[in-house]
Copies of this chain bind each other. A is one copy, B any other.
Amino acid sequence: MPLTLTSLPYEAEVGDQAAARSRLGVRDEKHSTLALERHVYRPRRPPVLSGSFVVTRCSEALPAAGNDEKIAALFPHMHRKPLVRIGFHSGPQPVPVGRPLRVGVLFSGGPASGGHNVLTGLYEYLATRNVSSSLLGFLGGPSGLLDDKHIEIDEMLLFKHRNQGGFHLLGSGRTKIETAEQLEVAFRNCEKLELDGLVIVGGDDSNTNACLLGEYIAEHRGRTCVVGVPKTIDGDLRNEYIEASFGFDTACKTYAELVSNLGFDASSAQKVYHICRLMGRSASHITLEVALQTHPNVAIISEEVAAKRQTLPMIVNIIADTVCERAQMGKNYGLVILPEGIVEFMPDIRALIAELNEVLSAPNTSNVGAAATGNGMAAAAAEAAAAADTKSEATIVKEIAAMLSDKSATLLLSLPVPFAAQLCLDRDPHGNVQVSKIESERLIAELVDRELQRRKHERTYCGTFSTVTHFFGYEGRCGLPSNFDCNYCYTLGLVAGGLIEHGYTGYMARATGLCRAPELWEVGGVPLTSMMNIERRKGKDVPVIEKSTVNLGGAVFQSYKSVRHAWRLSDDYRVVGPMQFYGPHADEITRTIETTE
């Protein structure tokens, strides 16, 4: 089905909700006024993207981020390409009709706000260049490509989803296209569908796999150009070429509003500590950003924990000290935030987990089968675990502690029983401890409480300590995208279309200068391999796009570090409020994106 960009869809309708409403053809009740207004919001983009443009190389061929030779061997067709930029034609504009293109697109991994605008930009690019083009959306993520489940995206579908949060037009999934067999199936389906291009919207792993697929297709002389778009709310897909992944801005604004509200709840009711865990397992960008927005009494940054080798008791003491000092001022309330991944960055917990994995896991066996492996420790541990119904959790933990080093045993036994038991009993199919399932905000709240009771006993503290714990994660993945995410995604979609038309494969669409107005952004592409390194995973060398962690020497962390001491004892909570789409605040972006490090 050819595209039908019958009108410039936005201009005609800006502010015209009646038109939007009648076009949606649905009863009023279903669409909030705000959702309708967002339907008619016209995302902003650099002017170069409004017509046909040229794509020129603008750097030398780039090496990989590390292990260049190994990356080159893995990606002979993709590697050592230059950066490219999109620019105006220097002569008169050519007639704006390109060849008809067939392009597929899919969402990979957890949703992030703005995904639908990638589709919108892509569609508009294709339709503006040639109305005989087609845009195919694969359903349910990468598995949609493997199973060839797709829909043709038309103007009406996009109209319903543009500037709206979520990935629900297509759905998403975590299937990875990485084995030889999967690559072959994906390639065959691209061929069958005669795709000129495939746009993969995803995080670091998905983009690594996008490059594998690009390589496979190039090697087999396929026609499909594979282009990636940087997505992840955690903000850890960020490097010298990519300033931000989409979804981060909206997610941080959503969390910051809630955390800010809790700060004022603390200082209004004056009787609880709110302890909030925020999304971000591998990096603390979200926690750092939210700290800068909300001014909590304590914010723990995983990267600092690792750098300073701070153990669990040290973190507990940092918080307990703050509680004590505040209590002396008559303040038995406060606000503490932590990143999701915190415990995995503590050296003592890491050592404990490594030992537990050793002791508890038996290769390729569930805990019931462990007894049969001949691994005596694992068998004993499995036996202990299997007795959970009759023995108390405390007894089981003690039995397992007896198998650990003194240090780890002491740590395990110092944990509240339910958490210790969770570490001992709750394992993934490979027998590994499921660290990500630990509700670290509850663990830390309980340990701080215990430490404070100890101090009370010692008469070095005489306050009250009551906590309410929170985890903010999923709430921030599918909200209405901020103006920034609307503009950024729309721009990335247009850029991805351009890269495909101009035959670039193994590239990621990018826009830079994001701290400026969208009209001033520079746009182009970066070769995926230039962001790659080799990592050892499960005994194998694998290519990865390195996750960006918080740079402790960088401007964002330093600006937090320079003020955090003042926030400990004051109630300097900052009003954030719900994200606004109109008014002078509407185009503000997060500090993290604003700051070039």
Contacts and interface: CB of A to CB of B under 8 A. Distances in A.
A582 B173 CA distance: 37
B480 A575 contact: yes
Interface in A31-57: 31-35, 37-38
A500 to B, nearest CB: 24
Contacts of A17: 584
Contacts of A35: 574-577
A32 B574 contact: yes
Given A37-B585, A110-B269, A468 B474 contact: yes
Given A110-B269, A261-B478, A34 B172 contact: no
A267 interface: yes
Interface in A461-513: 468, 470, 474-480
Contacts of A33: 583-585, 588
B392 A111 contact: no
Contacts of A415: none
Contacts of A582: 580, 582-583
B31 A574 contact: yes
A110 B264 CA distance: 12
B165 A478 contact: no
Interface string A66-101: 000000000000000000000000000000000000
Contact of A254 (B38, B171, B295, B578): B578
Interface in A577-597: 577-585, 588
Contact of A480 (B168, B270, B392, B577): B577
Nearest to A581: B580
A6 interface: no
| Most chain B Cβ neighbours within 10 Å, of A468, A576, A580 | A580
Contacts of A478: 261-262, 264-265, 268
Interface in A191-230: none
B578 A479 contact: yes
A259 B390 CA distance: 40
Nearest to A388: B392
A150 B276 CA distance: 32
Contacts of A166: 264-265, 267-268
B577 A171 contact: no
A111 B267 CA distance: 10
* Chain copies in complex: 2
Given A264-B166, A268-B168, A269-B172, A578 B578 contact: yes
Contacts of A580: 34, 578, 580-582
A581 to B, nearest CB: 7
Interface residues of A, number: 69
Given A165-B261, A479-B257, A585 B34 contact: yes
Nearest to A392: B392
A472 to B, nearest CB: 9
A340 interface: no
A391 interface: yes
A268 B233 CA distance: 15
B32 A585 contact: yes
A391 B30 CA distance: 54
A31 B578 contact: no
A578 B576 contact: no
Interface in A394-423: 394-395, 418
A167 B577 contact: no
Contacts of A295: 30
A37 B588 CA distance: 14
A274 interface: yes
A296 to B, nearest CB: 14
A516 to B, nearest CB: 18
6 contacts: A34-B585, A166-B265, A262-B478, A265-B474, A265-B477, A389-B392
Interface of A: 17, 30-35, 37-38, 107, 110-111, 140, 164-168, 171-173, 253-254, 257-258, 261-262, 264-265, 267-271, 274, 293, 295, 389-395, 418, 468, 470, 474-480, 571-572, 574-585, 588
Given A164-B575, A168-B268, A578-B578, 6 more contacts: A33-B585, A34-B585, A35-B576, A261-B476, A468-B474, A480-B575
